[in-house]
A = this chain, B = another copy of it.
């Protein structure tokens, strides 16, 4: 295969926890079903960037009427994953390098704050164990050359840390940003050198948190994020990827 193309199936992104009745089996609303399904198809590149379809077409594909599909699309639009073009359907929003810069600027602002908040809480070490586990899984995945597993563990690490900050608003915002950047991360994952520094940086952040040094935790997280951001943007530039 001479041309490098986006893998048809990017790794399955973890589905966000939805309110309430998720535990009670498959009793979710059709809006929720449509939302999850379409979101997953976007993240998995089943609906690739730029994919466009009418409300009725999405409805047909999911075996639903327009109403719940429409609500789901509006929600996805509010999260920046699709764009509703009246009379032209809804299309999966491409993510340009400029968009990625915006997203990473936001993450660079918010995630260090999360680390800072966690550090200030002086949590018992046991609460930080999942973070350390995630870091260890990243190392292990790297050793096995399993980049998908690495990406999953990386995402888990960041999600755990965000959750520990105890600010729901922050967690939701960051998750939305990660969603938007998901496809680009998955693509660059295989274009970049092996991410050997991340584990060390992650551990350093945990150490600062454990020491209760909020300023240092924030500083480390910020430089971690800035380095990642710079690398990713450089890759997109180098590969002349104008949108994903």
Contacts and interface: CB of A to CB of B under 8 A. Distances in A.
B85 A11 contact: yes
Given A11-B86, A75-B78, A109 B102 contact: no
13 contacts: A6-B85, A10-B83, A71-B71, A78-B78, A102-B168, A103-B169, A105-B167, A108-B113, A109-B109, A109-B110, A109-B113, A109-B170, A110-B110
Contacts of A168: 102
Interface string A64-105: 000000010011001010011110100100000000001101
Which 10 interchain pairs have the tightest Cβ spacing? A109-B113, A102-B167, A109-B109, A102-B169, A109-B110, A78-B78, A6-B88, A106-B169, A106-B170, A105-B167
B170 A105 contact: yes
Nearest to A78: B78
Interface string A128-167: 0000000000000000000000000000000000000001
A173 interface: yes
A232 interface: no
A34 interface: no
Contacts of A169: 80, 102-103, 106, 177
